[in-house]
Amino acid sequence: MNNANVFTRSVKWFVRLIQPKNSLNRSVWGDLVLIFALLLFGTFSAYPMIFIINNAFKPFNEIFIFPPKLFVRNPTLDNFIDLINLMADSWIPITRYVFNTLFITIVGTVGHVILASMAAYPLAKHTFRGSEALNKIIVYSLMFNATVTAIPGYVIMSELGLVDTYWAIILPAFAFSLGLYLMKNFMVQIPTLYIESAFIDGASHYQIFWKIVMPLVKPAWLTLTILSFQTLWGATGGQYIYDESLKPLSFALGQIVGGGIGRTGVVAAVSLFMMVVPVIVFIISQSSIIQTMAHSGIKE
């Protein structure tokens, strides 16, 4: 009896640490299952990240140790120094690759989030000639495999004179279907009353879109920012960009990865580097989702 009491109290104490104060209708057993599931699957999921972080700081002999160890014992910066030396030898300066990737990723992400949201608002909150067809086409387009559209895609790019420019990656990214579909599904939830009353008060569609709709779907476009950033950050531009000085960072780093077993340490450093930037963007946008929405939600 007493034991059970201590147990219940320690669970409650731990729950208070991790759960917001105003949670309603929560039982101790439910909380216990919650904590257990989070810990168990969390460890499982975090594994690759822990692996990549540790490997990047392992000295050469530890990387090849058998049986392999997850955690680094004598951390070193050797892998990063090797990476910098390798990049210094390449005839295109590394800063050029970094610029290419940043340009493509930032312009592509900002453009996609804005254009997709602009297109999503009419489709989510209005019916007009063609709206139903457009809604359907967006969903259908998610279902067609990209391998077979690569060749027609290339023909279009070269007809438009876009091969060997940043725009070969950026323009298609502006119009990815996933973003529009995501934004549309969040905008559908906004009460039509909000929009109608703003319209009666004399607001234009542009004002409604920018001042009412976008702030209400902030969690959606912050999520889309993560997804788009991640995709473009990893884009190699393989089939469209042949000019070495225009190639993105992930292509250049891919060359290093292809350099054989002697470069395993450098590859580990590369993996960490390629992971860190999207993770930072992820953390920033996830915490802003939570800050803005903590006390509101969409009210009917």
- Residue ranges in 70-109 that form contacts with another protein under rule CB under 8 A: none
144 binds another protein (CB under 8 A): yes
238 binds another protein (CB under 8 A): no
Residue closest to 121 by CA, chosen among 26, 190, 52, 187: 187
Task: Choose between 104 and 180: whose C-beta lies nearer to another protein.
Answer: 180
Task: Choose between 60 and 199: whose C-beta lies nearer to another protein.
Answer: 199
Residue 63 near residue 265 (C-beta atoms within 8 A):
yes
230 binds another protein (CB under 8 A): yes
Q: State how far the Cα of 225 lies from the Cα of 282, in Å rounded to an integer.
A: 9
Task: Choose between 52 and 86: whose C-beta lies nearer to another protein.
Answer: 52
258 binds another protein (CB under 8 A): no
Residues in 106-135 at the binding interface with another protein, rule: CB under 8 A: 115-116, 118-119, 121-123, 126, 128-129, 134
Residues in 169-188 at the binding interface with another protein, rule: CB under 8 A: 171-172, 174-175, 177-178, 180-182, 185-186, 188
Out of 13, 74, 201, 299, the residue judged to bind another protein by CB under 8 A:
299
Task: Choose between 45 and 95: whose C-beta lies nearer to another protein.
Answer: 45
Out of 3, 45, 61, 95, the residue judged to bind another protein by CB under 8 A:
45
Structure tokens at 4: 């059970």
b/e string for 175-199 if b means 16 or more Cβ within 10 A? ebbbbbbbbbebbeebeeebbeebe
Tell me the angle at which helices 28-56 and 264-293 cross, rounded to the nearest 10 degrees. 140
Residue 248 near residue 100 (C-beta atoms within 8 A):
yes
Out of 14, 60, 71, 140, the residue judged to bind another protein by CB under 8 A:
140
b/e string for 114-145 if b means 16 or more Cβ within 10 A? ebbbbbbbbbbbeeeeeeeeebeebeeeeeee
Residues in 269-288 at the binding interface with another protein, rule: CB under 8 A: 271, 274-275, 278-279, 282-283, 286-287
Number of residues that bind another protein (CB under 8 A): 98
Out of 23, 158, 192, 245, the residue judged to bind another protein by CB under 8 A:
23
* Burial of 108: CB neighbours in 10 Å, binned 0-12, 13-18, 19+: buried
**CA distances in angstroms from 216 to 82, 189, 209, 231, listed in the order given:** 47, 10, 10, 25
Least distance from C-beta 3 to another protein, angstroms?
25
Structure tokens at 258: 């292809």
Out of 198, 205, 212, 236, the residue judged to bind another protein by CB under 8 A:
205
Pick the stretch among 33-41, 74-82, 83-91, 97-105 that binds another protein (CB under 8 A).
Answer: 33-41
Residue closest to 199 by CA, chosen among 190, 212, 186: 212
